Every structure is written in C-alpha cells, then in structure tokens.
Amino acid sequence: MSDIINNRGQHRYELELEGHLAATYYEIEGDVITFVHTEVPPELGGKGVGSKLIKGALDQVRAAGLRVVAQCPFVKAYIEKHPEYQDLLKV
C-alpha cells in the first residue's frame, strides 16, 4: 500500500486520512521490528483505518525481510485474525 509511509525518523508507520494521522510506533533492532503502540484518532474510529495501517505496515515489513514482535495489543490482535501474517512473528 503506497499510502502507508514508514517515517523512520519518528519510528512509525503512518496513514494520513481526512486531515488526521494514524500511526503505529515501532522499535527496530537488527532484523526484528517490535510494534509498541498504535494510535488512531477518534475522528477515524470505526472506519477500518487501524487495520489498513497495520496491513500496510506488515506488508512493508515482509518485503524488508524483518521478523515481528507484536507488543502492541492492536497489532497482536490483527495478526491473530489474519493468519497470513503469523509467519512474520519472531518465536
């Protein structure tokens, strides 16, 4: 998804919509990315924005060959609901 931006300086993937910014924050060490927190503004709630953001972020993570630690409950729940991303999890 080209509208998901990896803002490396802020350590977050971003999705801007309707003038609001949804973001999932991460820490990266070697080839492991740890998602720590996801924020979706209330104005964007209930529109699937968080899921779109996480899907786009995970697609980029897969393309980069990284392993995932899902510390963030939202990312963890998304991966549990979408088995096609479970292979990314670092075990």
User: Could you tell me the CATH number of the domain that includes residue 59?
Assistant: 3.40.630.30
Q: Which residues contact 23 (CB under 8 A, 6 or more apart)?
A: 7, 10, 12, 13, 14, 15, 38, 39, 53
> Structural domain tally of the chain?
1
pTM: 0.94
Per-residue model confidence as pLDDT tens digits over 11-69: 999 999 999 999 999 999 999 999 999 999 999 999 999 999 999 999 999 999 999 99
- Give the domain range for residue 62: 5-88
Which residue, among 66, 75, 89, has the nearest Cα to 40 in the 3D structure?
Answer: 75
